Each structure stands twice: as structure tokens, then as C-alpha cells.
Amino acid sequence: MAAKARERLAVGVVLAVAAALWVWALGSRSLQPYYAAAVHSMSGDVSAFFFAGFDPAGVVTVDKPPLAFWTQTLGVTVFGFHPWAIALVQAAEGVAAVFVLHRVVRRWAGPATALLAAALFALTPIAAAVNRDNLPDTLLVLLLVLAAYCVTRAIENARWLVWAGVFVGLGFLTKMLAAWIVLPGLALAYFVAAPGSRGRRLAWIGVAAAVTLAVSLSWPLVVSLWPGAKPFVGSTTDGSVWQLAFGYNGLTRLVGGETGVGGSYGTSVGTALGGDAGPLRLFDAEVGGQIAWLLPLALASLVVAACRARGATAGTKAGWALWGGWLVVGAVVFSFAGGIFHAYYTAELAPAIAALAAAGLVTAWGWYRAGGRARFVLPAAVAGTALLAYVLLDRTPEWAPWLRYAVVALALVAVVAALLRASGVLVVTGLAAIAAGPAAFVVDTAVRPVSVLETADPGAGPPSTAALRSVVGVATGEGAEAGYVRFIDNAYQLSPGQREVLTYAQGQAPSTPVVLAVEGGTYGADPFLLNSDARVAPLGGYLGFDPAPSAADLARWVSAGRVRFVLLPQVFVDIGRARTAPAVGDAGELTRRIGWEAKHCRPVPPARIGADAATAGVLFDCGVRR
């Protein structure tokens, strides 16, 4: 078989394995209900589609820009609204990212490095977890890898740099400032490798930056200048898309504080879910098993390459600069971010880690074959990576307890094989020692059922919901924690009581623009938005804290006949009874709305609604005053 045919076959195998891992149990998995409900709304309403509306009634948007949800909505348009239709889009984007990474690395370091990079990327635990969820990060990674591809082409033809700017701008329309993290690496790669004078290179970088800015700000500008009615921009205090972009999804993520709704709450969540900010965050108990397996190897490869940069070709320098800048800037940002932080953010680092680790291993293999003292670099890299894998696996000793010992045994065999010059054994056992830990996490993620609670903070490997549950306990009061967790996990089900409430509201007020308003944020409204096409309004956006509407706005809605019925889910009645301290974060609007409802609206007797209505909560009829 010709070399190119073997390469195509090998790449096909990597892509097929990745696809199998990410589509496994496609029809039975849980997705983040907040974003799935938004896609359901977007698939049936043009305004919701454009603005990334959370609900078909046009009350509030989700807390991210729309591009990732536009692609998911296209899948729903083709196949109908099913969670598996959304998951299929995510898997396709993930496989595409693996393929594009292969093409980028191949142009830089050749087919062997490209194949290994693609395989390591596919076996990155957090990448697998994200690709099996419905978060925007899947599309973000694909767009940024496409931008990297364009930069490698721009070294030969500068006009490709414009397309790199387009893709990073589209990344901003996917997850806002997170997309700009790669810009230093992309710019550095072009600057160190492109031909022409320094001024010419800087000029092209300026053009690409202008394109990036124009594409990034295109949708926010349209939203901010929109002359007609539009949904309130979720997770903001004033409905400003700029606060969403540079506050809630910007400064609040980086330094914490009060920018956007629930700023202080977000800071406490970030610490609970990602550990304390600092240089070792990417190796801590919450994050390490998701991304750290090959991180030291990637960084060591980068350091060695920098020390040997003199005399390297322009293309070689470009690759190291691109992936090195991507990784270093991203690692610093995520390590020291003092605000909202989730381990799954580090999926953005996965392409760079895979590329650098693969390049380092292939380079070390070349030194090994050449002989001399440098031949010991490869077995040392295998041993060091296996030692880190042992540490990461030892944190969950009850999960696959044999695996950490198997990794060490494989590494020992590889080291002995290197000393005995048994190249074939070294390659097989060395790669197995490096890949066994993360591969086991990926496989476990594919076969293990995931609760709805975990979809808000996806991770691979042994389930770790302790941090999430601690956050829930702080936010709700320990007395209501268990009930709230059950409430979240039932987001994809419309209970008999909830169905009775919806039917009653539709029968009593069929012509109101909002047939039913629901308190409690996403998990209060999700069952209605996911299981019906009724114009149900989620009050307060994601956490229920948004002034969407404020108590005064709600009074005006009722007066104008926009809404008559408001449901306060039972779990929030329980939280009110259990709480002994004020809510964490800015829950003022939620409290004021509930206070207004209790004062000005009349509770509907459950017996009038249905046999199970009491389990759904308290239904307020605001068309009948107390």
C-alpha cells in the first residue's frame, strides 16, 4: 500500500474512532437543558433565532452569542427537535476539528506528527466531554483551529490572514472573548515566518485584526442598534449586549467582581468548580484529569524547541510560535482567572497541547534513532508523562484501580526497551503508557450515563458532582439542596402536575401573548420550553436573577394583558422555607418579583387545576387581585 493511502487510512481510523466515541448513546444522553430549550425556541421563532432567545415569547436571551445555537438549530430543522439532533451537530463539529488539526499540523511538521496530534486531540478527556454536550465550546474550538489553518497558509499567501480574522471573529460570535485568547499566538506565527519586511507583516496583522474586530462586533452592533422590540439580553443588569460581551463574559470571568448578574455568586462558583486561581490550577483535583495529562510534555517540547530555534526554517518556527503562543496565553488566562471558571473551558487548550506533545514525541523519536545522549529524551518523556498519569489516576483510587499500575508497568517496559534498543516495543508500550489514562477517561465518558446536573459542568472520567452539589447547597440552603438537585435532573420531563398547570393556563387565558410565566430561571421553565410549543416565559433568565422583567415591568405586563398566570415552582417555595440567610449573588429582582406576585396576585387552589397540580408549585392568577 502506498504511503499516502496508508496515511489516509490511518486518519480515517482516527476520525472514525472519534466519531464513535462522541455519538455513542446518541439518543439517550442528557444535554444542558438551558441551551437545548433555547434551540427549541429558536427553531420555531425567527426573532428568537436571531437574538439567541431563550423562549418563544421573546422575554430574554441566553447568556452567549448565537452562532453555536444557529448550527444546532439547523440540525433540529433537518431532523426535528430531539436532543440527539443537537448532539449529532456537536459530534460532527468535533470530528471536523480533529480533521482540521491534522491538516494544520501536517503542513507544519509532517504526516507522522499530524496523525499523532489528531489522535491525542481525540483522546483528550475534556474535548470528549464537551463534544458530547451542547455547549458552544465545540464550535469555538473548530473555528479557532480553522483560523490556525489559515495562518499557516498565510505564510505563503498573506490574503489567507484575512480568513483567519474571519474565523476568530466567528469564534467571538460563538463564545465572545474566549475566542481572542489565541490571537497572540496567531499573530506571532505570522510575524516570525512570513516573508517581507517587518512593516509589511505588521500591516497584514493590522488588517487581520480589523477583520477580526469587524466580524466580532457585527452581531452585537446590530443587537444594540435594533430599532424594534427585542428580548432582554440575559445575564446582564441593563439588557446591554456590551455588558454581556465585556462584563459577564469578560471581566467577570477574568477577575471576578460584580459585572453582570450574579457576579459575586459567579466568583464563588468559579472557585468551587475549578479550584483556586494560581499556577497549578490546571493540575488540581477538578481540572487536572480533564486536560493536564500531556501538558508538561507539551510545555517541555516548547521549551526545547525555543532553545533550538536558531537555524530552524520559517515554517517550523511558525508552528512552534502558533501552538506555543496559543497554549501559553490560554494556560495563563485559565490558571489565573479569578471569576467564573469551569474545567471545561480548558477544551480550548486541547488542540495546542496535542500538537506540541505530538511534535515533541516525534522529535524525540528522531533523536532516539540517531543515537547519542539525546536518545534518552524519549524514554524520559514517556516516564515523566506516565508518572503524572499515575498521580492523576491515584486521585480516584476506587475507579479502575488497576489502571495506574498498568500505566507505570507500560512505562517501565518502554524505558527498558529503549535501553535495549527494541524500537518496536518502545513505540507500542510508550504510546500505550502515554494514552491509557486519558483514553480510559474518554471511553468512560462515552459509556457512562450523565445526569442533567452534570451537563452544566461537563467532565470526563469518574463523575465528580461534589463541587456542583456544594454550589447548589450554598445557593439554596442545605435543607432544600436534595430537592433542588432532583428538580434540575427532571428538567427534560413535564410532570403531570406541570402539564395540568399549563393546560389550565391555556384554557383560562388562551389569547394572552404569554400563556404562562415561570419563576426560577432555566430549571423552572425548561420542562415547559422543552416539552411544549406554548408561549411560556422564563422570568429572570438563566439564574432567575435578571430584571427580565423587573417587578415593576411585571406589573405593567399584567396591566397590559400580556400575562395573567405566574408559576412559582414548588422547589422555590421549599427553598424559601429552608433558607436561613440571603441568597448568594444578586437575587434581588427574583425576590422582588415573588414579593409582588404574593401581594398582588391570588394563588389558584390546586384542586381547581388538577389532581397533581400541587406538586408543580404555586400558580398565581394575576388577573384576579387579592
Reduced to 3 DSSP states, what percent helix, strand and coil does the chain have, rounded to the nearest 5? 70, 5, 30
The distance from CA 343 to its chain's CA centroid, rounded to whole angstroms, is 9
Indicate the average pLDDT of the chain: 91
CA distances from 87 to 30, 35, 155, 217, 360 (A): 9, 12, 36, 28, 34
Per DSSP, the residues of 237-303 read: SS--HHHIIIIIIIIHHHT-SSSSTTHHHHHHHHHHHH-SSSTTGGGSTTTHHHH-TTHHHHHHHHH
pLDDT for 37 equals: 97
Q: Is the dihedral of CA 402, 407, 98, 205 positive or negative?
A: positive
Distance CA(57)–CA(41), nearest Å, equals 9
Domain boundaries, the chain: 3-30+63-228+239-445, 491-621
Q: How far is CA 384 from CA 62, 293, 402, in A?
A: 43, 10, 19
d(CA 337, CA 278): 8
Would you state the pLDDT for residue 267?
Answer: 54
Interacting residues of 9 by C-beta distance below 8 A, sequence separation 6+: 1
**CA–CA gap between residue 263 and residue 254 (Å, rounded):** 11
Residue whose entry in the numeric block shows the C-alpha cell 477538578: 286
Cell reading at 168: 476568530
Burial of 2 (0-12, 13-18, 19+ CB in 10 A): exposed
pLDDT for 262? 53
Dump pLDDT digits (tens) for 242-262: 999 999 998 888 887 655 555
Which of 185, 110, 177 is closest to 151 using CA atoms?
185
pLDDT value at residue 222: 98
Q: Return the sign of the alpha-carbon dihedral for residues 570, 574, 575, 576.
A: positive
Cell numbers at 43, concatenated:
427553531
Closest CA to 183 of 138, 215, 217, 151: 151
Residue type, 591: T
CA 153 – CA 164 distance, rounded (Å) = 10
Residue among 622, 583, 616 at smallest CA distance from 601: 622
> Which amino acid is it at 344?
Y
- Other beta carbons less than 10 A from residue 242's beta carbon: 16
Q: DSSP string covering 128-161, please?
A: HHHHTS--THHHHHHHHHHHHHHHHHHTT-TTHH
Provide CB contacts within 8 A for 311, sequence distance 6+. none
Task: Report d(CA 27, CA 40) in Å as an integer.
Answer: 17
Which residue, among 537, 508, 534, has the nearest Cα to 520 in the 3D structure? 537
Reading across the β-sheet that carries 516-518, which strands appear in turn?
A: 536-538, 516-518, 565-569, 617-621, 602-603
For residues 118 and 322, the answer to whether their CB atoms sit within 8 Å is no
* Spans in the chain with pLDDT lower than 50: 474, 580-585
d(CA 43, CA 27): 19
The torsion angles phi and psi of 353, rounded to 5 degrees, stand at -65, -45
Which of 211, 175, 168 shows the shortest CA–CA distance to 66?
Answer: 175
What is the SS3 assignment for 109? Answer: helix
Q: Which of 569, 565, 574 lies closest to 608 in space, CA to CA?
A: 565
Place of cell 532553545: 307
pLDDT at 60: 97
- Tell me whether strands 565-569 and 516-518 are parallel, antiparallel or unpaired: parallel
> Taking the model in full, what pTM does it have?
0.95
Beta bridge partners of 619: 567
DSSP state of 536: E
Backbone phi, psi, residue 514, to 5°: -115, 110
